[in-house]
Structure formats: structure tokens, C-alpha cells
């Protein structure tokens, strides 16, 4: 197979910018939007996030099964980008709309739009991620793909969301109009970029595939211990960044008493993200993806705990520790998605069945479960501490926000590092597996 051109990687990775303009807007602002703009109580928000993930436990594996069994002139995974991009973003916009209904009707509206968004995000995001496993089987090329993807997903998309959204919303008469307008703008751009990725990407890896039924889904997952270990690590890593990002606006609004610092803070984090992107390819060549992932988790955990011990007024040192944690977080984000495609070949080697859809469905569910648990924990802790939106907070609520912003993300990251101690699929074993799989394929 010919090596991937940088243009091929760029054309594929640009889709992650589109997907993450949608995803990051939800991840950063939907919790705040629900409590402070839409009018949901923190407890109702927590229930909504958990209910959506219960459905995803059914929906995501079915989507993986469907993608694996899709046959079309565009391949197995690309059609979902073509037909899913627009519906996904229409529903994202609907999530940031406040209907003029009564309390119970508004709650139902929030449930329907949020759960539907999760389903459509799976229908687009899962096949998109699965394409990375059929672009190449070379580990280093997969690491480069992951680096490009995270550049667009975090350096570009996350920066646009974290730095640009608050100043943009401030131009409008109120946050309700501002959030809806920014959702419309990001939704249009997201749709276009996902369609560009569809048009400019091709599925290149053609390996013999065994037919499997719905009853085989769990055995495929259960036999793949590399997938299970990495998925648990991804769960904790997702909980870390979702909690930190969701609570950031609460922290600057209620603890530092200055919402404008929210965008300034993430502007300072932008160079740290760039440093992380530049370092990861160099580090993975020398020590491997696993050690970089573990090291990043350690940096996040230690910096978060140290940050919590600081007096609130030491803002410069707070930002310095945040930069260290941001670099570590970038290490984690890039390497985890570089490791995910390797579990496809490992699973085929263990079970004899090649499936891109099921592993990526499992990772999709794991990531969304992390988002749900982190969001629910935020809602429960705020509710238990007596948080009331847009009022002077009681001391317990202020303490809860500080713990949510600093300590809980650090605990999640250290848990991620511990889980990774049990991940055994290194570069040497993967190369041996690939040789054996090629021999099996040639003998068929």
C-alpha cells in the first residue's frame, strides 16, 4: 500500500474540525446554557445526561454493526458523512433554542433534542473515526493522522469555541439570542467541513471480513482486552476534560467574578496546545504512544491538585500550572485516538473477526458515557451544594465549583494513568500481529 500523502491526511482531518465545532460547543456550553439560560435545574440536567447515555448503550453498538455491514459506492463509512452532516447540525442548533413553553414541556424538549443529537453524533462521528482504521495500517501514519485530527479538533475548533464564543455572544441583547446565533453559524461551517471530508477521503484498507450477527457484538468486545483497557482510560480522560471545560465558565463567573477572563484564559492555553501538538509526534517515535499518554495524565493530575492549593488571587501561577496541565491534556487527546485503530487489528487477531464499527462504537459510547457521568456529577454536586443560577453563591457552592474545576479533573486523570498500567499492546506486539494477520489473509 502506498504511503499516505499529507494532503490525504489533511482532507480527512478537516472533518474533525467540522465535527468538533459541533461537539465542543455542546461540551463547553450546554451545561451552562441549560442551567443559566434555558432554566433547567442542575438535578434535571444530571438526569437528562444520564438518560441519554442509557439509550446510547443500545444505540452505539447498533450503529457500529450497521456501519460494518454497509455496502455502497462510497464505501462503508463515508455515506454517513454525506447524509448525516446536515441533520446533526440542525439538531445541535435546536439544542440551543429556548421554546416559549411551560416548565414540563421545556424539559421534554430538552430531552428530545439532546438525545436525538447524541444519536446523530454517533451516526456521523463513529463512521468518521472508523475511517482512520481503513486509511492505513501503519502505526506511525496513524499517529500522524491522530496529530492532524487533534490539531483541527483542539487547536482550531476548541480555540474557536473557548476563545471566540463568549465575546461573540456579548454582542447580542441577551445570551439566549447569542447562543442560538453562534449555534447557527457553527452548524453551517460544521456541515460544510464534514462534506469536504466525505468528498476528499477514500477508504484504502481492504481486508477479508467475516460476517457476524448481533449476537456476536459482545463476544467481539469481550475478547479484545486492549479495547476494554483503552476504553476505560478514555472514559476517565473524557471525564477530566469535560468537567474542567464545563465548569470553567462557572469558575470565572462566580469565583473570579469576571466572565471576560474565560476567553482570556483559553487564549493563554492556545500556545500550550500548539506545543503539545508539536511534541507528540517526536515523543511517540522515541518512547511510544502509551508512555506519552501516561505522562500526559500525570501532568494533568499533578497540575490540577497543585492549582487547587493556590489562593484564588495568585492568577499568574494559576495560569502557569494550567499551561502545564493543558500540554499534558494534549498528549492524552492525541495519543488515545492514535491508539484506538490498533485495537481493530488486535481484535481481529484475537477473535478472527475484523470489525472497525464495533470497536469504534464502543469508544464512542465510552466517550459519551464520560461526558454524561461528568455532566451528571457536575449537576449533582452543584445541586447538593445549593447552587442557584445568577445569584450570590453560598460558600458551599463556591467550594463545590473550585473542587469541580481543579480536584475532580485531577482525580480522573490520575485514574486514567493507573488504568493504562494494564495496557499491553505495544509497538513490537502490534507489528507481530500485523505480520500474522497478513499471513492469514494470504492463505484464504
pLDDT 10s digits, 138-181: 877 888 888 888 889 888 998 899 889 999 999 998 999 999 99
Q: State the pLDDT at residue 444.
A: 63
- Residue identified by cell 509526534 is 281
Q: State the pLDDT at residue 207.
A: 56
Q: State the pLDDT at residue 13.
A: 93
Compute the distance between CA of residue 220 and CA of residue 353 in angstroms, rounded to an integer.
8
Q: State the pLDDT at residue 56.
A: 80
- Residue identified by cell 479495547 is 227
Hey, what domains does the chain have and what are their CATH numbers? 6-201+215-442 (1.20.1250.20)
The secondary element (H helix, E strand) that includes residue 169 is helix 165-169
Q: State the pLDDT at residue 393.
A: 82
Q: State the pLDDT at residue 29.
A: 92
**Is 257 exposed, middle or buried, given 0-12, 13-18 or 19+ CB atoms closer than 10 A?**
exposed
**Is 356 exposed, middle or buried, given 0-12, 13-18 or 19+ CB atoms closer than 10 A?**
buried
Q: State the pLDDT at residue 146.
A: 84
Q: State the pLDDT at residue 116.
A: 96
The number of beta carbons lying within 10 Å of the beta carbon of residue 385 is 19
Q: State the pLDDT at residue 198.
A: 96
321-337 core/surface letters (b: 16 or more CB in 10 A; e: else): bbbbbbbbbbbbbbbbb
Per-residue pLDDT of 425-437, as tens digits, reads: 888 888 898 889 8
Name residues of the chain where pLDDT drops below 70: 1, 207-211, 444
Q: State the pLDDT at residue 313.
A: 78
Amino acid at each position: 500500500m502506498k504511503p499516505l500523502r499529507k494532503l490525504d491526511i489533511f482532507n480527512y482531518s478537516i472533518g474533525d474540525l467540522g465535527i468538533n465545532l459541533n461537539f465542543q460547543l455542546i461540551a463547553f456550553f450546554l451545561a451552562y446554557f441549560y442551567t443559566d439560560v434555558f432554566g433547567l435545574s442542575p438535578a434535571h440536567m444530571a438526569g437528562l445526561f444520564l438518560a441519554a447515555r442509557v439509550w446510547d448503550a443500545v444505540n452505539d453498538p447498533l450503529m457500529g454493526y450497521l456501519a460494518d455491514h454497509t455496502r455502497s459506492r462510497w464505501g462503508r463509512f463515508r455515506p454517513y458523512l454525506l447524509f448525516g452532516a446536515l441533520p446533526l447540525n440542525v439538531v445541535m442548533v435546536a439544542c440551543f433554542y429556548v421554546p416559549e413553553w411551560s416548565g414540563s414541556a421545556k424539559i421534554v424538549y430538552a430531552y428530545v433534542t439532546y438525545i436525538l443529537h447524541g444519536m446523530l453524533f454517533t451516526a456521523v462521528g463513529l463512521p468518521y473515526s472508523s475511517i482512520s482504521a481503513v486509511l492505513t495500517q501503519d502505526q506511525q501514519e496513524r499517529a500522524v493522522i491522530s496529530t492532524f485530527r487533534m490539531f483541527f479538533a483542539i487547536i482550531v475548533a476548541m480555540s474557536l469555541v473557548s476563545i471566540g464564543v463568549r465575546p461573540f455572544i456579548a454582542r447580542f441583547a441577551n445570551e439566549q439570542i447569542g447562543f442560538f446565533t453562534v449555534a447557527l453559524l457553527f452548524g453551517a461551517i460544521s456541515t460544510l467541513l464534514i462534506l469536504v471530508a466525505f468528498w476528499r477521503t477514500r477508504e484504502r484498507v481492504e481486508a477479508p471480513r467475516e460476517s457476524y450477527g448481533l449476537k456476536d457484538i459482545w463476544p467481539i468486545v469481550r475478547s479484545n482486552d486492549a479495547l476494554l483497557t483503552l476504553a476505560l482510560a478514555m472514559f476517565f480522560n473524557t471525564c477530566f476534560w469535560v468537567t474542567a471545560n464545563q465548569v470553567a465558565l462557572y469558575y470565572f463567573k462566580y469565583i473570579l467574578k469576571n466572565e471576560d477572563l474565560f476567553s482570556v484564559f483559553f487564549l493563554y492555553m492556545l500556545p500550550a496546545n500548539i506545543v503539545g501538538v508539536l511534541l507528540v509526534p517526536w515523543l511517540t517515535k522515541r518512547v511510544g504512544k502509551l508512555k506519552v499518554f501516561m505522562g500526559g495524565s500525570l501532568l494533568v493530575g499533578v497540575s490540577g491538585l497543585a492549582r487547587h492549593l493556590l489562593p484564588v488571587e495568585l492568577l499568574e501561577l494559576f495560569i502557569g500550572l494550567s499551561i502545564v496541565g493543558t500540554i499534558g491534556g494534549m498528549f492524552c487527546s492525541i495519543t488515545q485516538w492514535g491508539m484506538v485503530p490498533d485495537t481493530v487489528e488486535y481484535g481481529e487477531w484475537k477473535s478472527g473477526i475484523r470489525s472497525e464499527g464495533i470497536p469504534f462504537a464502543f469508544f464512542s459510547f465510552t466517550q459519551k458515557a464520560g461526558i454524561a457521568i461528568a455532566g451528571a456529577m457536575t449537576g449533582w454536586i452543584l445541586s447538593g451544594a445549593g447552587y442557584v443560577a445568577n445569584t450570590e453563591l453560598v460558600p458551599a457552592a463556591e467550594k463545590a465549583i473550585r473542587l469541580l474545576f481543579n480536584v475532580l479533573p485531577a482525580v480522573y486523570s490520575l485514574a486514567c494513568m493507573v488504568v493504562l498500567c494494564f495496557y499491553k499492546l505495544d509497538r513490537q506486539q502490534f507489528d507481530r500481529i500485523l505480520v500474522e494477520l497478513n499471513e492469514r489473509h494470504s492463505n484464504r
